[in-house]
Amino acid sequence: MGIDQRHAARYNIEVSAEVYTPNAVLPAKTRNLSETGVCFDVSQELVENFTVGVSLFLISDGIEDPDAEPLNIKANVIWCSQRDDEGFSAGLRFENIDSSGIETIKGFLAQLD
C-alpha cells in the first residue's frame, strides 16, 4: 500500500457538479472535497492524467442557491474506477486555482466544521 500524499483535509460532502470533457458535459455528485481536490461519482469513465473543467455548485446552509455562480476550476484526473453499482468514481486534483477560488473553497469548507 502506498503512502497517502494528501496535503489537505477531505470533507465528506455531496454537492452537485458538472465535469467538462472534450466530448460531453457530465453531471456529477461529490463524495468528498478538499482545498486541493475532489472525488466525484460520475456516469462515464474519465481518462486518468487528463485535465477537465469542473463546476461546483456550492451550497449554503444545506441549500443550493439557484442564483449563485458555480465555482469553475480546471482539474487533473488522478484516478478513475468503476463502482459496483452503475457509474464511476474519480479523484481529481485542482490545477492553477486562483486565490479567489481557494478562498471560496476554504470558506465553504469552514461552514462544515
pLDDT at 1 over 50: no
Helices (H), the chain: 99-110
94, part of any domain? yes
Average pLDDT over residues 6-24: 89
Domain of 46, CATH number, reads 2.40.10.220
Of all residues in the chain, what percent carry a pLDDT higher than 90? 70
Q: Whole domain around residue 26: which residue ranges?
A: 11-110
Our count of domains for the chain comes to 1
Other beta carbons within 10 Å of 102? 14
37, part of any domain? yes
Q: Sorting pLDDT into bands at 50, 70 and 90, what band is 8? A: confident
77: cell is: 484526473
Position 16 scores a pLDDT of 92
> To which H or E segment does residue 107 belong?
helix 99-110
3, part of any domain? no
Write the pLDDT tens digit of every residue in 31-56.
999 999 999 999 999 999 999 999 99
